[in-house]
Structure 1
Amino acid sequence: MARTLSFPYGDTVIRFHPVYSGRRKTVEIAVEAPGRVIVTAPEGRSDGELIALVSKKAEWITRQLYDMKAVRFQPVARELVSGESLLYLGRNYRLDIGIDETFAKPTVKLDHGVFRIRSRSADPSLLRDCLIAWYREKAATQTTARVRYFSPRLNVTPAGVRIRDQKKRWGSCTPDGTLLFNWRSVMAPSPVLDYIVAHELCHLLETPHSTRFWNLLRAVMPQYESRKQWLKENGVKLDV
Structure 2
Amino acid sequence: MAPNLRSLFSKGRNPASVAEPAPPRFIEAGGRQILLTIRENARAKRLILRIAPDGGAVVTVPRRTPKRTLEAFLGRHRGWIEERAGGERAPVVVADGSSIMLRGEPVVLRHMGGRRVSRLESGTGALLVGGLPDHFARRVGDFLKKEARADLAMAVAKHSEQVGLQPRTMALKDTVSRWGSCTADRRLSFSWRIVMAPPFVLDYLAAHEVAHFVEMNHSPAFWAVCRSLCPRMEEGRAWLKANGAALHRVRFE
**TM bracket, shorter-chain basis:** 0.5 to 0.7
- 1:179 matched to 2:185: no
- 1:107 matched to 2:117: yes
The secondary structure found in structure 2 opposite 1:185 is helix
Gaps of 5+ in 1: 1-71
CA distance in 2, matches of 1:223, 1:139: 20
Equivalent in the alignment of 1:79: 93
Aligned pairs, number: 161
Instruction: Flag the 1:119–1:75 CA change in 2: closer, same or farther, 3 A.
Output: farther
State how 1:12-23 maps to structure 2 within 5 Å: none
Shift of residue 178 of structure 1? 1.1
Shift of residue 175 of structure 1? 3.2
- Max Rg structure: 2
Q: Deviations over 1:176-222 (max 9, x none)?
A: 21111111011111111000000000111111111111111112223
CA distance in 1, matches of 2:180, 2:92: 24
Q: Which runs of 4 or more aligned residues in structure 1 lie more than 4 Å from their structure 2 counterparts after TM superposition?
A: none
CA distance in 2, matches of 1:81, 1:131: 9
Equivalent in the alignment of 1:213: 222
- 1:151 matched to 2:160: yes
Instruction: Flag the 1:229–1:132 CA change in 2: closer, same or farther, 3 A.
Output: same
Shift of residue 87 of structure 1? 1.1
Instruction: Flag the 1:184–1:194 CA change in 2: closer, same or farther, 3 A.
Output: same
Equivalent in the alignment of 1:55: none
Whichever residue aligns with residue 102 of structure 2, its letter is Y
Normalization by structure 2: what TM-score? 0.58
Equivalent in the alignment of 2:16: none
Equivalent in the alignment of 1:120: 132
> Does the CA contact (< 8 Å) of 1:76 and 1:236 recur in 2?
no
Normalization by structure 1: what TM-score? 0.61
Give the counterpart of 1:92 among 83, 102, 106: 106
> Does the CA contact (< 8 Å) of 1:163 and 1:183 recur in 2?
yes
Q: Alignment RMSD, CA only? A: 2.2
CA distance in 1, matches of 2:118, 2:201: 24
State how 1:220-235 maps to structure 2 within 5 Å: 220-235=229-244
